[in-house]
């Protein structure tokens, strides 16, 4: 083989790998990404039941109800619209009423959001950025109470 | 006073780095030895000054000097000593000082130990290294000064986020930074070589130890982070494809590719242009990681407090260094001489495959990490790209790479014999086959691909072990002879095998825990029992307790295996005093076969507690694998070959190395 043929061979092999990767990336991006929505986004553009997405907002005050064996219900709000959420499992440490939360799951036939994952923040002074941004866009003022839960009352858990 | 000394030292360090940047480069240009020698002194000076600043900050932290705003915001008198110290780098400003300290240390190390380098190359390396330090020192002084005072000084600090008060996390950032800041050396060498217009095998030999040291630290740093996330976050997972994890993983992937392409360059003078490009890109990815973590553009559990001004500043630094580096590369790459020829089936060929796959994999991680940002900028849609994307793209790409690793070691340079290599690897293939069959037959049902994944891990592991034994002539020579040969193998051969064995072990761990993890979520009352993976757990209730700076509700579980007592586990929920923040501490029974992992959740209405149980099979192998990679790197680094200068051609006049 001449130098040129060899180089061509390497370039072809490289292209095969990169082509495969591009295919995988496109396939994966079309199938696995999840959209982030607030209750108001949903009211404006309804999502069909069964489609996976991430719901963000604040846990509405006084909305957390514990049912039988690990069932939890709460409302997520962006202060304009409210959406009921049902979840079964262990809530994160920093899950609290009045605090930012991101839940991942699907809408059921009753219009409730059935979450399989609930994420709260990992830091007392930290708000999930999508939530902070979405709330800001909705014109919600984030006072100290929102960003510093030390000031807020009502801890349903613990 | 302490804070002012620190602040002043940083300003002096800025000036010193400017000297280190300008004078040796000018000296190299006009070939003035004295000017070039200024670089050595300046590099030590910059390091000493940044060290003073760092020590001053540490003193302020340890002594709880709350008149310093940074200490007030991130420390507390009730914290144990070790966390008051680690608090120095547990926040944006302090961690930037550590970042620059490590950068300056690498620069100074070239000045101290780089006596074997050609003087102009060394001068230029020091100069490029100083330019990076200069940029980041300006960044610290203008946007992130850790020495700002507050008046009047508060009596007590706000405390460090309790999930950061942890031994693994105390040392995670220093290793991580030593890793990705260490790649600045590869960058500086690449830029200096492009300035010189000359790149050869010797260059690869000089740059490899620095890259290797950085890579080792990054490997350990990432592994520590993963281990911490595993036991501290209480989700039972060890990697989340979180954007910030990706930010450290991309330089690791590119750095791993760089290590391997530098081998080809050193041995065969091939892949020069590619290696230089990779050196520039690896450090660019490190800079991008710094940008992503500190600009607040990403939504991540790790992100530092958001400040747009900082983000723009780091973006500018990144643009200058990446853009400048690539522009210089574009202008000069054509002047680099073509290297040695090799056939596709050869060790070089295998290493090229390694590079193609690792570079492509870096690309897929990059796309997954940046795509949400790009989409939001274009359409305003907020999306998240999670683990399924990465498992679908990154996972399949690793298969050809893992298949090729053992072949690479058994193929000869320049022209290899695939058939002979395959015959020699029959042993490894046999081990892999047995592993797959055992997994199919005896392990509880899981995904069909899992036994194959396990086989892949054993293939790499057995291939690595077999390479050593084969080179020691196992089966041909007597045991004593084999032992003698094993101990006479060069350390770099041991390093390669140990690191590759680590990769195999890690794959085994990843496949095992991903495929066969079992999880239960229960509500348990005191006296209740649960079974998990053959263990029986009896919940004995919850007790209130008190630690140095937290109160906790500690649950007690008695673990038995077929009636035989195994251990007791104490998962707890803590509430820290400052800041008042709850954390979950998992109870873990660690064993090589798998971890029993218990987390206690909220109290239920009926007096029970939510309990999450996991069994994570083989999960320890992941971190053991990373430790093996580190050890492999260390063995290779200690090889004599890397410590002495490049071989000199006999025709040239013999120069005595300065060592």
Per-residue pLDDT for A151 more than 60? Answer: no
Q: How far is CA A33 from the centre of its chain?
A: 11
E strand or H helix at B600, and its extent? strand B594-603
Q: What is the pLDDT of residue B91?
A: 87
Higher-confidence residue of B548 and B252: namely: B252
Nearest to B119 by CA among B200, B61, B36: B36
Per-residue pLDDT for B556 more than 60? Answer: yes
Give the mean pLDDT of chain A.
76
Q: How far apart are CA B269 and CA B338, in angstroms?
A: 8
Per-residue pLDDT for B642 more than 70? Answer: no
Cβ neighbours of residue B277 closer than 8 Å, sequence gap 6 or more = B329, B333
Residue range A2-31: average pLDDT? 83
Q: What is the pLDDT of residue A123?
A: 52
Q: What is the pLDDT of residue B651?
A: 42
E strand or H helix at B374, and its extent? helix B347-379
Tokens representing residue A114 in the block: 């059935």
Using CB atoms, which residue from B163, B344, B363 is nearest to A6? Answer: B344
Using CB atoms, which residue from B389, B579, B582 is nearest to A33? Answer: B389
Shortest CA gap B523–chain A (Å): 6
Residue range B543-558: average pLDDT? 91
Q: How far apart are CA B461 and CA B443, in angstroms?
A: 20
Q: How far is CA B76 from the centre of its chain?
A: 30
Shortest CA gap A17–chain B (Å): 7
Residue of A nearest to B299 (CA): A129
E strand or H helix at B503, and its extent? helix B491-516
The SS3 call for residue B308 is: helix
Apex B303 CA angle, B3 and B278, nearest 5: 95
Residue range B626-650: average pLDDT? 75
Q: Which of residues 54-73 of A touch B (CB under 8 A)?
A: 54, 66, 69-70
What band does B554 get if pLDDT is binned at 50, 70 and 90? very high
Residue range B61-87: average pLDDT? 90
Residue of A nearest to B580 (CA): A150
Summarize pLDDT for B181-216 with one digit per residue, the tens: 999 999 999 999 999 988 888 899 999 999 999 999
Shortest CA gap B304–chain A (Å): 9
Structural domain boundaries of chain A?
1-33, 35-140
Q: What is the pLDDT of residue B185?
A: 95
- Out of A35-39, B547-551, B569-573, B603-607, give the one with best mean pLDDT: B569-573
What band does B646 get if pLDDT is binned at 50, 70 and 90? very low
Per-residue pLDDT for B162 more than 60? Answer: yes
Beta-sheet pairing, B609-617 with B518-524: antiparallel
Residue range B28-49: average pLDDT? 94
Q: What is the pLDDT of residue A129?
A: 61
Q: What is the pLDDT of residue B306?
A: 58
Query: Which residues from chain B sit within 8 angstroms of residue A129, using beta carbons?
Result: 296, 298-299, 303, 306
Per-residue pLDDT for B12 more than 50? Answer: yes
Least confident piece of the model among B18-22, B123-127, B541-545, B651-655: B651-655
Higher-confidence residue of B544 and B169: namely: B544
Nearest to B618 by CA among B594, B591, B588: B594
Residue range B395-401: average pLDDT? 93
B552, B543 contact by CB (below 8 A): no
B517, B616 contact by CB (below 8 A): yes
Q: Which of residues 85-114 of A touch B (CB under 8 A)?
A: 88-91, 93-94
Q: What is the pLDDT of residue B53?
A: 97
Per-residue pLDDT for B146 more than 50? Answer: yes
Apex B649 CA angle, B651 and B112, nearest 5: 125
B110, B126 contact by CB (below 8 A): yes
What band does B100 get if pLDDT is binned at 50, 70 and 90? very high
Check CB contact under 8 Å for B299 and A3: no
B611, B530 contact by CB (below 8 A): yes
- φ and ψ of B384, to 5 deg: -130, 140
Least confident piece of the model among A7-11, B106-110, B366-370: A7-11
Query: Which residues from chain A sit within 8 angstroms of residue B523, using beta carbons?
Result: 69-70
B475, B427 contact by CB (below 8 A): no
> So what's the ipTM on this one?
0.76
Tokens representing residue B239 in the block: 């990697």
- φ and ψ of B606, to 5 deg: -90, 15
Query: Which residues from chain B sit within 8 angstroms of residue A88, using beta carbons?
Result: 521
Q: What is the pLDDT of residue A139?
A: 64
What band does B657 get if pLDDT is binned at 50, 70 and 90? very low
Tokens representing residue B250 in the block: 């991309």
Per-position b or e across A52-64, b if 16+ CB within 10 A of its CB: ebbbbbbbbeebb
Beta-sheet pairing, A53-59 with A34-37: parallel
Q: What is the pLDDT of residue B628?
A: 97
Check CB contact under 8 Å for A6 and B599: no
Does the beta carbon of A123 lie under 8 angstroms from any beta carbon of chain B?
yes
Residue range B550-570: average pLDDT? 93
Using CB atoms, which residue from B371, B388, B523 is nearest to A70? Answer: B523
Q: Which of B384, B585, B597 to mutate to test the interface with A (most CBs of A within 10 A)?
A: B384
Tokens representing residue B170 in the block: 């105390």
Higher-confidence residue of B4 and A102: namely: B4
Nearest to B20 by CA among B100, B89, B99, B93: B100
E strand or H helix at B314, and its extent? helix B308-318
CB atoms within 10 A of CB B360: 25
Q: What is the pLDDT of residue B641?
A: 64
Check CB contact under 8 Å for B602 and A21: no
E strand or H helix at B326, and its extent? helix B324-332
Nearest to B509 by CA among B650, B622, B386: B622
Least confident piece of the model among A69-78, B13-22, B119-128, B336-345: B336-345
* pLDDT over 90 percentage in chain B: 58
Q: What is the pLDDT of residue B624?
A: 96
Q: How far apart are CA B544 and CA A73, in angstroms?
A: 28
Q: What is the pLDDT of residue B184?
A: 96
Per-residue pLDDT for B465 more than 80? Answer: yes
Per-residue pLDDT for B303 more than 80? Answer: no
Query: Tokens 């200490």 correspond to what residue?
Result: B71
Q: Which of residues 86-145 of B touch A (CB under 8 A)?
A: none
What band does B97 get if pLDDT is binned at 50, 70 and 90? very high
Per-residue pLDDT for A1 more than 80? Answer: no
Q: Identify the burial level of B349 via C-beta atoms within 10 angstroms of its C-beta, where 0-12 means exposed, 13-18 middle and 19 or more buried.
A: buried
Q: Identify the burial level of B26 via C-beta atoms within 10 angstroms of its C-beta, where 0-12 means exposed, 13-18 middle and 19 or more buried.
A: middle
Cβ neighbours of residue B628 closer than 8 Å, sequence gap 6 or more = B498, B499, B501, B502, B505
Residue B333 DSSP one-character state: G
A22, A41 contact by CB (below 8 A): no
Give the mean pLDDT of chain B.
89
Least confident piece of the model among A36-40, B162-166, B407-411, B435-439: B162-166
Cβ neighbours of residue B315 closer than 8 Å, sequence gap 6 or more = B291, B295
Residue range A73-97: average pLDDT? 86
Residue range B415-421: average pLDDT? 85
Higher-confidence residue of B10 and A13: namely: B10
- Count CA atoms closer than 13 A to B183's CA, side-chain side: 36
Per-position b or e across B404-418, b if 16+ CB within 10 A of its CB: bbbbbbbbeebebee
CB atoms within 10 A of CB B657: 10
Q: How far apart are CA B416 and CA B419, in angstroms?
A: 9
B6, B70 contact by CB (below 8 A): no
ω into residue B152 within 30 of 0, thus cis? yes
Q: How many residues does chain B have?
A: 659
Q: What is the pLDDT of residue B648?
A: 44
Does the beta carbon of A36 lie under 8 angstroms from any beta carbon of chain B?
yes
Q: What is the DSSP secondary-structure string of B69-133?
A: HHHHHH--TTS-HHHHHHGGGSSHHHHHHHHHHHHHHHHHHHHHH-TTS-HHHHHHHHHHHHHHH
Residue of B nearest to A129 (CA): B299
Per-residue pLDDT for A145 more than 50? Answer: no
Summarize pLDDT for B277-297 with one digit per residue, the tens: 999 999 999 999 988 888 767
- Out of A38-52, B33-47, B565-579, give the one with best mean pLDDT: B33-47
Which sign does the torsion angle of CA A52, A58, A64, A69 carry? Answer: positive
Per-residue pLDDT for A149 more than 50? Answer: no
Summarize pLDDT for B437-458 with one digit per residue, the tens: 888 887 767 788 889 999 999 9
CATH architecture of A35-140: Beta Barrel (2.40)
Q: How far apart are CA B655 and CA B142, in angstroms?
A: 47
Per-residue pLDDT for B467 more than 50? Answer: yes
Q: What is the pLDDT of residue B565?
A: 92
- Distance (Å) of CA B264 to CA A135, B341, B345, B351, B468: 54, 11, 14, 7, 21
Summarize pLDDT for B241-267 with one digit per residue, the tens: 888 889 999 999 999 999 999 999 988
What band does A68 get if pLDDT is binned at 50, 70 and 90? confident
Q: How far apart are CA B48 and CA B19, in angstroms?
A: 14
Higher-confidence residue of B341 and B500: namely: B500
């Amino acid at each position: 083989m001449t130098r040129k043929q060899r180089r061509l061979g390497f370039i072809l092999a490289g292209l095969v790998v990169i082509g495969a990767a591009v295919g995988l990336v496109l396939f994966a991006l079309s199938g696995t990404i999840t959209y982030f929505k607030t209750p108001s986004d949903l009211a404006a553009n309804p999502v069909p039941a069964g489609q996976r997405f991430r719901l963000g907002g604040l846990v509405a005050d006084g909305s957390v109800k514990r049912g039988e064996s690990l069932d939890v219900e709460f409302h997520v709000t962006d202060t304009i619209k409210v959406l009921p959420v049902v979840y079964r499992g262990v809530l994160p440490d920093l899950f609290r009423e009045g605090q930012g939360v991101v839940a991942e799951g699907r809408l059921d036939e009753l219009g409730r959001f059935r979450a399989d994952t609930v994420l709260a923040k990992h830091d007392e002074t930290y708000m999930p950025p999508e939530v902070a941004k979405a709330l800001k866009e909705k014109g919600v003022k984030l006072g100290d109470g929102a960003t510093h839960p030390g000031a807020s009352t009502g801890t349903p858990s613990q | 006073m302490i804070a002012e000394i620190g602040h002043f030292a940083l300003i002096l360090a800025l000036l010193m780095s400017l000297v280190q940047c300008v004078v040796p480069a000018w000296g190299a240009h006009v070939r003035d030895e004295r000017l070039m020698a200024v670089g050595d002194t300046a590099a030590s000076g910059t390091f000493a000054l940044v060290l003073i600043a760092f020590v001053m900050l540490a003193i302020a932290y340890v002594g709880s000097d709350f008149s310093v705003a940074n200490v007030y915001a991130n420390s507390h008198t009730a914290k144990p000593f070790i966390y008051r110290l680690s608090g120095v780098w547990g926040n944006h400003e302090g961690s930037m000082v550590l970042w620059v300290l490590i950068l300056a240390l690498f620069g100074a190390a070239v000045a101290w130990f780089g006596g074997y380098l050609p003087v102009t190359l060394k001068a230029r390396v020091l100069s490029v290294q100083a330019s990076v330090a200069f940029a980041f020192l300006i960044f610290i002084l203008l946007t992130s000064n850790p020495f700002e005072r507050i008046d009047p000084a508060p009596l007590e600090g706000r405390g460090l986020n309790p999930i950061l008060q942890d031994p693994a996390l105390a040392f995670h950032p220093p290793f991580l930074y030593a890793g990705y800041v260490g790649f600045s050396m590869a960058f500086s060498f690449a830029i200096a070589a492009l300035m010189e217009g000359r790149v050869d095998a010797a260059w690869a030999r000089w740059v490899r130890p620095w890259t290797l040291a950085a890579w080792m630290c990054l490997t350990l740093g990432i592994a520590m982070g993963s281990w911490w996330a595993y036991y501290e976050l209480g989700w039972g997972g060890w990697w989340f494809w979180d954007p910030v994890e990706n930010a450290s993983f991309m330089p690791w992937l590119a750095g791993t590719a760089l290590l391997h392409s530098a081998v080809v360059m050193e041995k065969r003078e091939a892949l020069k242009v590619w290696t230089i490009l990779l050196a520039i890109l690896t450090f660019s990815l490190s800079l991008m990681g710094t940008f992503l973590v500190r600009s607040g553009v990403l939504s991540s559990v790790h992100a530092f407090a958001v400040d747009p001004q900082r983000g723009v500043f780091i973006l500018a630094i990144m643009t200058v260094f990446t853009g400048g580096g690539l522009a210089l590369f574009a202008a000069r790459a054509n002047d680099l001489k073509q290297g040695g020829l090799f056939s596709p089936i050869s060790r070089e060929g295998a290493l090229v495959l390694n590079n193609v796959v690792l570079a492509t994999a870096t690309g897929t991680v990059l796309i997954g990490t940046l795509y949400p940002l790009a989409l939001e900028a274009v359409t305003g849609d907020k999306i998240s790209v999670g683990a399924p994307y990465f498992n679908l793209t990154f996972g399949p790409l690793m298969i050809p790479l893992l298949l090729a690793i053992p072949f690479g070691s058994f193929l000869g340079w320049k022209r290899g014999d695939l058939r002979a290599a395959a015959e020699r690897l029959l042993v490894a293939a046999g081990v892999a086959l047995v592993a797959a069959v055992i997994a199919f037959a005896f392990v509880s049902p899981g995904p069909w691909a899992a036994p194959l994944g396990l086989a892949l891990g054993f293939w790499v592991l057995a291939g690595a072990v077999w390479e050593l034994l084969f080179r020691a002539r196992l089966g041909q020579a007597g045991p004593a002879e084999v032992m003698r040969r094993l101990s006479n193998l060069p350390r770099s051969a041991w390093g390669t095998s140990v690191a590759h064995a680590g990769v195999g072990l890690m794959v085994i761990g990843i496949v095992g825990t991903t495929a066969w993890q079992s999880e239960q979520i229960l509500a348990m009352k005191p006296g209740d029992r649960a079974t998990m993976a053959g263990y029986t757990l009896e919940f004995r209730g919850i007790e209130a307790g008190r630690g140095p700076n937290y109160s906790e509700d500690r649950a007690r579980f008695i673990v038995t295996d077929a009636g035989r007592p195994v251990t007791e586990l104490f998962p707890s929920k803590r509430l820290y005093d400052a800041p008042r923040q709850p954390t979950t501490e998992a109870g873990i029974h660690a064993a090589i076969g798998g971890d029993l992992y218990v987390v206690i959740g909220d109290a239920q209405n009926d007096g029970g507690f939510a309990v999450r149980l996991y069994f994570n099979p083989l999960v320890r192998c992941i971190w053991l694998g990373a430790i093996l990679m580190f050890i492999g790197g260390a063995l290779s680094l200690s090889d004599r070959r890397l410590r002495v200068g490049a071989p000199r051609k006999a025709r040239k006049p013999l120069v005595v190395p300065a060592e």
